[in-house]
Amino acid sequence: MLTAEAKGVFPIAPTPFHPDGRVDEASIDRLIAAYLSAGATGLTVLGIMGEAAKLEPEESLAIARRFIRGMGALPVIVGVSAPGFAAMRALARTVMDEGAAGVMIAPPPALRTDEQITGYYRQAVEAIGADIPFVIQDYPLTLTVQMTPAVIRQIVTDNPSCVMLKHEDWPGLEKISTLRAFQAQGSLRPISILIGNGGLFLDFELERGVDGAMTGYAFPELLVDVVRLQQAGRRDEAHDLFDAHLPLLRYEQQPGVGLAVRKYVLMRRGIIASDSQRKPGAALSARAQAEVDYLLARLARIDRRALAKAA
């Protein structure tokens, strides 16, 4: 079960498809191997970048099950955001029965006031049950919901089953400092904070006190290494490595296009067989592919793991 002590890197897994749209199980297995090899401490599936909304219920369940089995003892978090609580409850209870460690809940875009947001999480917990550990997803850029530190604190206080924050506000550095100050003052109990937003500020977010990363950058080993170096106090080395990846990481962190970049790189690396997305989902243009290839070639001068394995 997921706890507030969770640390390290929980990659956001994409859902690999065959060019005809079927789920590609063999690529799921290679993704699992890659995450384990990279040193991931957990995994998150069926998030926004997992194309969760494009899956039928049985597919979602089968994908979650395969990732859970594959990750063995490592905790797997399943995204259960849904337009209604009935569907959210059904998926949450089922994946927990299948061995998930916890679930992640994003607020629906219509929420505006502080009361609406805290009320939504209370109702969601009532729906899924207070026995399921859950993660708050705080991603205003995509979800359009803005949570202040005080609202996050209220959600955590209202719901003992909240154990983690996926922090991806932008800008977000001061928010981390504020939340950690709340904890230092004793007004917020301990929770795990993993960062997202493509990792664009991972370097400084770690210095602000987060516990790790939960994002889908196509080199999970970069995330693992930067977390490890920072935790070891090797600040300059952490920044050197991060900066080498930043041009590509920045290119991947483009709204809408990002998943196409990510899948293309994972395919170039030989980890997934195809970069296909289900509709609606734009493929990368030939021009963009060439740009990514150029970035990979430049990155490989410093980090040889960027040498593509595939044709």
141/232 with CB nearer a second copy: 141
Residues 39-58 contacting a second copy, CB under 8 A: 51-57
Between helices 114-128 and 149-158, what is the axis angle to 10°? Answer: 30
Residue from 285, 300, 307, 310 in contact with a second copy (CB under 8 A): 285
Residue from 26, 37, 72, 119 in contact with a second copy (CB under 8 A): 119
The footprint of a second copy on this chain (CB under 8 A) covers a number of residues equal to 61
Residue from 166, 167, 175, 208 in contact with a second copy (CB under 8 A): 208
**How many C-beta atoms surround the C-beta of residue 177 within 10 A?**
13
Q: Cα–Cα distances in Å, from 125 out to 82, 92, 104?
A: 13, 11, 11
Q: How far is the CB of 256 from a second copy (least distance, A)?
A: 6
59/303 with CB nearer a second copy: 59
Partners of 194 in beta bridges = 166, 212
Q: How far is the CB of 82 from a second copy (least distance, A)?
A: 8
28-49 residues labelled b (16+ CB within 10 A) or e (exposed): bebbbebbeebebbbbbbbbbb
Residue from 126, 131, 160, 234 in contact with a second copy (CB under 8 A): 126
Structure tokens of 247? Answer: 């041009």
Structure tokens of 245? Answer: 């990846």
Stretch that binds a second copy, among 69-77, 212-220, 268-276, 280-288 (CB under 8 A): 280-288
Between helices 57-71 and 25-38, what is the axis angle to 10°? Answer: 40
Sign for the pseudo-dihedral over CA of 14, 17, 19, 21: negative
3-class secondary structure per residue, 66-109: HHHHHHCCCCEEEECCCCCHHHHHHHHHHHHHCCCCEEEECCCC
What does the per-residue mask of binding to a second copy show for 162-201, with x meaning CB under 8 A? --------xx-xx--x----------------------xx
Stretch that binds a second copy, among 39-47, 183-191, 214-222, 275-283 (CB under 8 A): 275-283
Residues 10-39 contacting a second copy, CB under 8 A: none
- How many residues does this entry show for the chain? 311
What gap in Å lies between CA 260 and CA 277, rounded to an integer?
Answer: 8
Asked if 298 touches a second copy (CB under 8 A), the answer is yes
Q: Which residue, 86, 128, 72, is CA-closest to 105?
A: 128
Q: How far is the CB of 120 from a second copy (least distance, A)?
A: 7
233/280 with CB nearer a second copy: 280
Stretch that binds a second copy, among 6-14, 93-101, 243-251, 267-275 (CB under 8 A): 243-251
What gap in Å lies between CA 101 and CA 74, rounded to an integer?
Answer: 9
With the CA atoms of 60, 65, 71 and 76 taken in that order, what torsion angle do they form, in degrees rounded to the nearest 10? 60
Stretch that binds a second copy, among 12-20, 157-165, 184-192, 240-248 (CB under 8 A): 240-248
Residue numbers of the site for a second copy (CB under 8 A)?
A: 51-57, 59, 83-87, 90, 109-110, 112-116, 119-120, 123, 126-127, 146-148, 150-151, 170-171, 173-174, 177, 200-201, 203-204, 207-208, 239, 242-243, 246-247, 250-251, 254-257, 278-280, 285, 287-288, 291, 298
